[in-house]
Amino acid sequence: MKIDEMIGGALDQVVNSRVRDAMEYSLMAGGKRIRPTLLFEVLKGYGKDEEAGVPFARALEMIHTYSLIHDDLPAMDNDDLRRGRPTNHIQFDEATAILAGDGLLTEAFHLCALSKEDPSRVLKAIAILAEMAGPSGMIYGQCLDIGESQQDTFEDIRKVHLYKTGCLLSAPLMIGAVLAGKDDAEAEAWHEVGNLIGLAFQIQDDILDITATAEELGKTNSDSRNNKVTSVSLLGEKEARRLMHDLYEESCARIAQFGGFESAPLITMIRGIEARSR
């Protein structure tokens, strides 16, 4: 499946407006599409057609994109570059960017509710998506990050990363298992895999923030610019790299243990994420 074409279809039913244009502007700006790809790899690993995951794959990328649009707003990180383009509020305006984020979030759940898959599986998958993206998941992580709690130790920022980054990386793994008919215990085991990948991914982001340029990243290196406490500032680059590698390795080891699951393609994908340069 051509993933960008598939994501592009997400807005087909949305009426034309400036807000729709703003939604499309950020959604189609060329992210790495990691979350939808994770969902498809889990479905395929269980022998299920990736078509079954299309509404959720779109929804994951839409929710991820909304979180980036809102995170870039002046009230949050106040960034002007994202995915190699001016951020949404710079290209449009602040009010439109807020509505574009709201529109992506709402339309994501609309698409999931229209899924033709088994209704009990769909309902469970929607509940997981809402929990992982919502105020006990990613939004909780953002809440901690904008200063609700003190962040002095690695344990403090580990918690932020688990919620802010880990939850939306766990969601596709858990949703893939649920759409493939797996039980709650198996979905929870995938949640733990997502936590490992999420922590590794965020440590890698912290490393890239100091080792890559804004042009290479397609976004502003705002953490180092804002003198934020990160895994690199707390652990040092060498230790951060070691921990990142161990976490990715542990996630692959856990994935290899799922029964009835063809793990090699997903493990290859995770090794590709570890090798990313942006």
Residues 6 or more apart whose Cβ sits within 8 Å of residue 159: 144, 149
What whole-number distance in Å separates Cα of residue 41 and Cα of residue 106?
Answer: 25
DSSP 100: H
**96 touches ligand GRG (CB under 6 A):** no
What 3-state class would DSSP assign to 85? strand
The binder of ligand GRG chosen from 26, 151, 165, 221 (CB under 6 A):
165
Beta-strand (E) ranges in the chain? 81-82, 85-86
Radius of gyration (C-alpha) of the chain in whole angstroms: 18
Bridge partner list, 82: 85
**139 touches ligand GRG (CB under 6 A):** yes
**1 touches ligand GRG (CB under 6 A):** no
**132 touches ligand GRG (CB under 6 A):** no
Span near ligand GRG by CB under 6 A; candidates 2-10, 50-58, 60-68, 181-189: 60-68
**166 touches ligand GRG (CB under 6 A):** no
The binder of ligand GRG chosen from 87, 142, 221, 231 (CB under 6 A):
142
Site string for ligand GRG, 14-53 (x = CB under 6 A): -----------------xx-x-------------------
Asked if residues 42 and 165 have their Cβ atoms less than 8 Å apart, the reply is no
What whole-number distance in Å separates Cα of residue 78 and Cα of residue 206?
Answer: 18
CB of 119 to ligand GRG, least distance (A): 28
Residues that bind ligand GRG in the complex, under the rule CB under 6 A: 31-32, 34, 64, 67-68, 70-71, 83, 138-139, 142, 164-165, 202, 205
